[in-house]
């Protein structure tokens, strides 16, 4: 049985994973940006239930609720990237943005009417689609409305996803003037053949120029998004991209595995399956990335994130303050999230909510004066306990049984007796360390940390139909 040495971000010796073990874990599984995962949301949770959650937060304001995180979804893109699984609308008609901005402002008014004006905010993220599809004036209008509705705290993280093909230095300067202090550039891969295969042509020189401009403008943190497992990628070509990214020196790197689900996402049907790298090649690309970024001084945050040691994400990792939400790993506390826009997901108290997924449905509900929530979930006690366990695995890679049990008023070993038994094979395979007091993810286990978390997912235990999820490797 052959094995693959993998650079370990947590130890001086490389982790060693057998190829048979890698194949065993090349299966679908949740990314756990929430628990329960969004596929468990139900239509029985609608506008009335969400409004009640907002009111309950407002009434609890005297108890000093944690600051909010805001997410605004802007779905428009000028061109189609074949790999994309986001909720987006492809159009070159920028007048549609003006209409959508009015929809956002209408939803904002409805939410604030229930939540109350002036709630503290410590984090804002504009995602998409392509948020920079909005003009400078439209972005100014949106930011003014948000600041009038909420109290942005000093030092609040304000981030925006940027398609490098849609901005120049002047636009970046405008974003800085609006208060954005963090940027996320979508790179995916610098190889020309890969870019052609996924219909996203962007010369490296343009990205380098934008990065230099962002540095001059003083953005506190700049993220680069990469994807491995794309068509026409191979270990050699991807290593060239890694070298360019190291030269680019972003503060953070998000390295995602491409999830090929053409039965769910129509644009992916334009990708030829025979051009996709196989599982061993993908894990080799991941291994090379971890090795290259580690040698360049990056801290491996977990699963798909890297950061320079002085970045807030790396600091949060060292201090045990790392959290995970719908945008991935986060420095923010385990706080409520207000989602605005088509398909946006939010979390308020012990509930999740999601807006209408089509622009027509979203707009129709707003025109009727309704919050555009179409589904969600009110968490039960078991959900809350398991969420704490899964997020501890995903973020800290460790569970102290006594401390976790005390925090959730359960006898951990008794409550999770079946799960601890199910972890034994993973322990024998060297993926977790188990004793009477704690569980710890090993360096090798971080490569399949989603599989470790899945052991505690009650919904997956009852439902083995996992094809709706991306593959772990």
The domain limits of the chain are 3-31+380-462, 40-340
- Residues annotated within a binding site for S-adenosyl-L-methionine: 71, 83-85, 128-130, 161, 188, 200, 225, 259, 345
More confident residue, 24 or 388: 388
pLDDT value at position 334? 76
**Least confident piece of the model among 121-135, 259-273, 350-364:** 259-273
SS3 call for 260: coil
More confident residue, 279 or 178: 178
More confident residue, 234 or 15: 234
Q: pTM for the whole thing? A: 0.91
3-31+380-462 folds as Arc Repressor Mutant, subunit A (1.10.10)
pLDDT value at position 320? 85
Q: pLDDT above 70 covers what percent of the chain?
A: 92
- Residues annotated within a binding site: 71, 77, 81, 83-85, 128-130, 161, 188, 200, 225, 259, 345
User: Is the pLDDT score of 1 beyond 50?
Assistant: no
- Residues annotated within a binding site for [4Fe-4S] cluster: 77, 81, 84
Q: pLDDT above 90 covers what percent of the chain?
A: 73
pLDDT tens column, 47-94: 999 999 999 999 886 555 789 999 999 999 999 999 988 889 999 999
Per-chain mean pLDDT for the chain: 90
Place of tokens 């943005």: 97
User: Is the pLDDT score of 461 beyond 50?
Assistant: yes
Give the pLDDT mean for 369-387. Answer: 97
In this structure, CATH architecture of domain 40-340? Alpha-Beta Horseshoe (3.80)
Axis-axis angle for helices 204-217, 235-248 (nearest 10): 30
């Amino acid at each position: 049985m052959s094995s693959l040495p993998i650079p370990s971000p947590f130890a001086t010796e490389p982790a060693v994973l057998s190829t048979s073990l890698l194949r065993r874990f090349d299966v679908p599984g949740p990314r756990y940006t929430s628990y329960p995962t969004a596929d468990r949301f139900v239509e029985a949770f609608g506008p009335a239930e969400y409004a009640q959650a907002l009111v309950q937060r407002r009434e609890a304001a005297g108890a000093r609720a944690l600051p909010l995180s805001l997410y605004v979804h802007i779905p428009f893109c000028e061109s189609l990237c074949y790999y994309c699984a986001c909720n987006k609308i492809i159009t070159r008609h920028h007048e549609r943005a003006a209409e959508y901005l009015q929809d956002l402002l209408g939803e904002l008014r409805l939410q604030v009417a229930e939540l109350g004006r002036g709630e503290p905010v410590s984090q804002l993220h504009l995602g998409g689609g392509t948020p920079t599809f909005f003009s400078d004036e439209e972005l100014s209008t949106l930011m003014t409305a948000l600041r009038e509705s909420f109290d942005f705290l000093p030092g609040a993280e304000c981030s925006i996803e940027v398609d490098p093909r849609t901005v120049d230095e002047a636009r970046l300067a405008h974003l800085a003037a609006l208060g954005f202090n963090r940027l996320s550039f979508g790179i995916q891969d610098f190889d020309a053949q890969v870019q052609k295969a996924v219909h996203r042509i962007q010369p490296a020189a343009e990205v380098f120029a934008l990065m230099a401009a962002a540095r001059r403008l003083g953005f506190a943190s700049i993220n680069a998004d990469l994807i491995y497992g794309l068509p026409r990628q191979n270990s050699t070509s991807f290593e060239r991209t890694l070298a360019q990214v190291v030269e680019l020196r972003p503060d953070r790197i998000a390295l995602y595995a491409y999830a090929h689900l053409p039965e769910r996402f129509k644009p992916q049907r334009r990708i030829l399956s025979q051009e996709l790298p196989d599982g061993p090649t993908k894990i080799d690309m991941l291994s090379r990335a971890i090795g290259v970024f580690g040698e360049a001084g990056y801290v491996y945050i977990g699963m798909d994130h890297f950061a320079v040691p002085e970045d807030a994400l790396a600091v949060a990792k060292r201090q045990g303050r790392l959290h995970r939400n719908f945008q991935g790993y986060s420095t923010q506390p385990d706080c409520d999230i207000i989602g605005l826009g088509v398909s946006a997901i939010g979390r308020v108290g012990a509930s999740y909510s999601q807006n209408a997924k089509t622009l027509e449905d979203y707009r129709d509900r707003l025109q009727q004066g309704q919050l555009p929530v179409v589904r969600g979930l009110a968490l039960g006690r078991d959900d809350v306990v398991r969420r704490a366990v899964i997020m501890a695995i995903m973020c800290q890679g460790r569970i102290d049984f006594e401390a976790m049990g005390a925090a959730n008023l359960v006898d951990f070993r008794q409550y999770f007796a079946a799960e601890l038994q199910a972890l034994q094979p993973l322990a024998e395979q060297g993926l977790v360390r188990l004793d009477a007091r704690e569980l710890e993810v090993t360096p090798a286990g971080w490569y399949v940390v989603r599989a470790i978390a899945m052991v505690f997912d009650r919904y997956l235990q009852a439902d083995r139909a996992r094809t709706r999820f991306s593959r772990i490797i």
